[in-house]
Amino acid sequence: MEDRVYPSSKPIPPPPQAANGGPPSFPPTKGQAYGTTLPTYRPQARKAPPPRRRRRGRCCSCCLWFTLILIVLVFLAAVAAGVFYLIYRPHRPVFDVSGLRLAAFNVSAAGQLTSRINLNVTARNPNHKLVYLYDTASVSVLSDGVDVGDGSFPSFVQDSKNTTLLSATLTSGQTLDATAASDLRKRTSLALEINVSTKVGVKIGSLKTKKLGIRVRCSGVNVAVPTRKAAPATASTSNAACKVKLHLKIWKLTIS
């Protein structure tokens, strides 16, 4: 069966009319009811990002100025070094082995090495206006890598165009391993290498430079091993040659 729709018994009121006969008026909004005025919405403009080109430009200019200043400093240092060389003509000190005598040399059955070496080294300053200031120097004598004598030279000041004779007595009392001890017992002569390590500064008038390390290595020295009854053996130094190297230490880096 179909549902029947019955009309409502209450009459539907007509929509309200405006007072002047215009379109019907609607209920007031909350702002109109409380007498407030809402602000007009205006979207805020976005802030522009800071200019990057100016920062990059400043960094580039700083790098450019730093590079230019560094180049100028290097150029001035090169000019100063050139002027210094032209005026003073600096030369390295020269060292020569002027004499060596092996007064005693013995290796016991237990490998105990006993030796005594009398060493004379000549140091020459070939410069006309430079004075060398030497610290105490440590001296060691090696034979095929085995240390056969240690000693030292005292500190000294060497004037320009001066020759100084350095003398020292080197001794050894170390215990060698079985192989090195057996090898030294069999030898009748020794090929020696002399190493000198010290620090030297330069004096120019009243100016003194910082002392730097130098190493002197002399090779080509041969000496006979003396027996107990024989006199001390004098080494042959005619073929001896010494090389001088600058020894620099920068932080943990060592340059020779």
The sign of the CA dihedral 126, 127, 131, 132 is: negative
What confidence tens digit (pLDDT) does each residue in 49-62 have?
665 555 666 778 88
Which whole number is the average pLDDT over 79-92?
80
What confidence tens digit (pLDDT) does each residue in 190-211 have?
999 999 999 999 999 888 999 9
Q: How far apart are CA 133 and CA 90, in angstroms?
A: 15
Residue 144, Ramachandran bin (φ over 0: left; ψ between -120 and 50: alpha; else beta): left
Chain-centroid distance of CA 131 in Å reads: 28
Looking at every residue in the chain, the average pLDDT score rounds to 83
Higher-confidence residue of 215 and 228: namely 215
Higher-confidence residue of 37 and 156: namely 156
Which tokens in the block code for residue 76?
């001035």
Q: How far apart are CA 254 and CA 256, in angstroms?
A: 7
Q: Which of 160, 72, 154, 149 is nearest to 115 (CA)?
A: 149
176, 181, 185, 191 alpha-carbon torsion, rounded to 10°: -70
What confidence tens digit (pLDDT) does each residue in 135-194 have?
999 999 999 999 999 999 999 999 999 999 999 999 998 899 999 999 999 899 999 999
* Most distant CA atoms of the chain, gap in Å: 157
Instruction: Find out whether 120 and 139 touch, Cβ atoms under 8 Å.
Output: no
pTM over 0.75: no
By CB atoms closer than 10 A (0-12, 13-18, 19+), residue 140 is middle
Q: How far apart are CA 96 and CA 201, in angstroms?
A: 20
Other beta carbons within 10 Å of 89: 12
SS3 60: helix
Chain-centroid distance of CA 72 in Å reads: 24
- Amino acid letter at 139? V
Q: How far apart are CA 94 and CA 158, in angstroms?
A: 12
